[in-house]
């Protein structure tokens, strides 16, 4: 039995809306540039005549009438050919931008859900690498800070329990420290409730 290699088709349309809009805008610019060229040609050749030869016959006509029909056809064909090539090139270029942005968007969505262990993984030559590194740096800082808060709040909560248990054998002392410690426990509990939904490396 021969092993067949499985090939994963590369998806160049990661963000179809963004990439299509990117290519379409480039196409619009191309059409506008060609149209402006035709208008300028018509403007600067107005009132001029051109002599043409058809065998032994000499033709004298307005320059616009002489060149514009042929020029329009060639410009249209050139726009179509260039548009096809440009569209393919723009898809490849936008893929290099849309791909990293897609991964960054996914990572930020995970962070928004409370998963602070999420990191953006891009290759060295990928676009937006510096942005991904900055996001990772911020997320790592939050991960460490929130993780420490969760750990220390749990330790303080245990310490409060130990202090109350120790003071139980001394009623005057227990009565004196019970209220402040209960207030502290309340604040610690509120802090734990606010951070418990956040996933950190300490609790992953």
Q: 73 lies in a domain?
A: yes
Distances 128 to 22, 98, 101 between C-alpha atoms, Å: 17, 10, 7
**Do 84 and 36 belong to one domain?**
yes
Among residues 63, 85, 110, the one where a domain terminates is 110
pLDDT, tens digit, 9 for 90 and up, residues 142-198: 999 999 999 999 999 999 888 888 888 888 888 888 898 999 989 999 998 988 889
* pLDDT tens-digit series, residues 23-59: 777 778 877 887 887 788 777 777 776 666 666 666 6
Same domain for 27 and 97? yes
> Does 184 or 64 have the greater pLDDT score?
184
- Which two structure tokens, joined as six digits, stand for 175? 């009565």
Same domain, 103 and 168: no
Residue 117, pLDDT above cutoff 90: yes
- C-alpha angle 103/122/112, rounded to 5°? 40
Residues 129, 78: one domain?
A: no
In a domain, 79, yes or no: yes
Say if residue 56 is in the same domain as residue 102: yes
* 123 against 6, higher pLDDT: 123
Last residue of a domain, one of 110, 136, 164: 110
33 and 103 in a single domain? The answer is: yes
Query: pLDDT tens digit string along 87-97?
Result: 777 777 767 77
- Closest residue by Cα to residue 136 from 112, 101, 104, 99: 104
52: β partners = 59
Whole domain around residue 178: which residue ranges?
118-204
Cβ-Cβ contacts under 8 Å for 178 (sequence gap 6 or more): 164, 167
Q: Quick one: 146 and 95 in the same domain?
A: no
- Is 104 found in the same domain as 123? no
Based on the fold, state whether residues 93 and 155 are members of the same structural domain.
Answer: no
d(CA 96, CA 128): 9
Tell me whether residue 5 is in a domain: no
Are 93 and 169 part of one and the same domain? no
| 86, 110, 134 - which closes a domain | 110
Same domain, 27 and 52: yes
- How much is the pLDDT for 133? 92
- Please report whether residue 9 resides in a domain: no
- Residue 155 placed within a domain: yes
96 and 128 both lie in a single domain:
no
Higher pLDDT: 107 or 93? It is 107
| Residue 11 placed within a domain | no
Instruction: Name the pLDDT band for 8 (thresholds 50, 70, 90).
Output: very low
Two structure tokens written together for 134: 């900055």
Q: What per-residue confidence (pLDDT) applies to 148?
A: 92
**3 inside domain:** no
Confidence (pTM) = 0.56
pLDDT at 5: 45
The tally of domains found in the chain comes to 2
């Amino acid at each position: 039995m021969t092993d067949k290699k499985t090939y994963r088709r590369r998806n160049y349309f990661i963000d179809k809306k963004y990439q299509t809009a990117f290519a379409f805008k480039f196409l619009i610019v191309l059409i506008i540039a060609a149209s402006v060229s035709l208008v300028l040609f018509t403007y600067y050749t107005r009132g001029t005549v051109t002599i043409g030869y058809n065998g032994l016959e000499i033709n004298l006509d307005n320059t616009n009438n002489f060149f514009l029909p042929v020029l329009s056809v060639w410009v249209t064909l050139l726009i179509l050919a260039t548009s096809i090539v440009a569209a393919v090139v723009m898809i490849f270029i936008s893929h290099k931008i849309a791909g990293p942005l897609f991964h960054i968007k996914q990572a930020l969505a995970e962070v928004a859900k409370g998963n602070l262990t999420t990191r953006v993984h891009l290759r060295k030559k990928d676009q937006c690498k510096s942005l991904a590194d900055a996001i990772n740096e911020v997320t790592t800082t939050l991960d460490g800070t929130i993780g420490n808060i969760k750990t220390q709040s749990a330790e303080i909560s245990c310490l409060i329990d130990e202090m109350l248990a120790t003071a139980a054998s001394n009623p005057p002392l227990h009565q004196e420290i019970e209220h402040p410690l209960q207030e502290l426990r309340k604040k610690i509990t509120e802090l734990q409730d606010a951070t418990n939904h956040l996933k950190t490396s300490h609790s992953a």
